[in-house]
């Protein structure tokens, strides 16, 4: 039986035709999705969902060119939907985590003061040039090119000094869950130091 004959039979509720089509395309579709997903279990789930959708929509199928192409397109769309949903969920969870961390800092004045003091201490302990570059960027809002021009150094030197500053700050907060929040809030915190 050819692919279109199988589809015609599936449209008439033929379970055997569905099994034949499933067996023919299951592994190739998994391999195709795995190229995008790089996850075999996820690829299997996507392909199973593809065949579930095919069966549910069997009465409305309008495949004119290629059954193989239709299945590949359907599987890819299902994968993309899964990926977008996962990305949305991860963004939501990160925002929620950051919001909770921010709330915990501002609710606990002692904790906030402790983090500010720790950050100020870490910044004060930076090598002078590193500290100056960090402050020009975070307090004055200068871009790397502007800092390089103002100090008469290369942009690469500015980038290297900023990298050193962030590494030292990260290291200072390594046992603290608030490091990402602290780094994101560095502009505001440095302005408070003025």
Dump pLDDT digits (tens) for 52-101.
Answer: 988 888 888 778 788 888 898 899 999 988 888 877 777 777 777 777 76
State residue 127's pLDDT score: 92
Please name each of the domains of the chain with its CATH number: 3-90 (1.10.1740.10), 108-193 (1.10.10.10)
Nearest Cα to Cα of residue 183 among 129, 128, 115:
115
At how many degrees (to 10) do helices 40-56 and 15-37 cross?
140
First to last CA, the chain: 79
Low-confidence ranges of the chain (pLDDT < 70): 101-109, 112, 175-194
Predicted local distance difference test score (pLDDT) of residue 104: 63
- H helix runs in 3-57, sequence order: 3-10, 15-37, 40-56
Please state, in angstroms and as integers, the Cα–Cα distance from residue 145 to each residue in 17, 58, 128, 150, following that order: 65, 60, 19, 9
């Amino acid at each position: 039986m050819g692919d279109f004959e199988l589809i015609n039979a599936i449209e008439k509720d033929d379970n055997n035709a569905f099994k034949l089509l499933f067996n023919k395309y299951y592994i190739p579709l998994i391999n195709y999705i795995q190229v995008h997903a790089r996850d075999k279990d996820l690829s299997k789930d996507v392909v199973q969902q593809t065949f579930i959708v095919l069966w549910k929509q069997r009465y409305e199928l309008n495949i004119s060119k290629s059954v193989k192409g239709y299945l590949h397109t359907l599987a890819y769309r299902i994968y993309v939907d899964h990926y977008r949903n996962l990305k949305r969920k991860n963004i939501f969870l990160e925002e929620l985590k950051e919001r909770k961390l921010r709330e915990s800092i501002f609710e606990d004045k002692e904790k906030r003061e402790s983090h500010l003091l720790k950050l100020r201490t870490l910044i004060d302990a930076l090598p002078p040039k590193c500290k100056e570059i960090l402050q020009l960027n975070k307090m004055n809002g200068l871009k790397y090119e502007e800092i390089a021009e103002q100090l008469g150094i290369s942009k690469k030197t500015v980038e290297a000094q900023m990298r050193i500053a962030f590494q030292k700050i990260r290291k200072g907060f390594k046992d603290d869950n608030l490091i990402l929040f602290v780094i994101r809030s560095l502009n505001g915190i440095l302005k408070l130091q003025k």
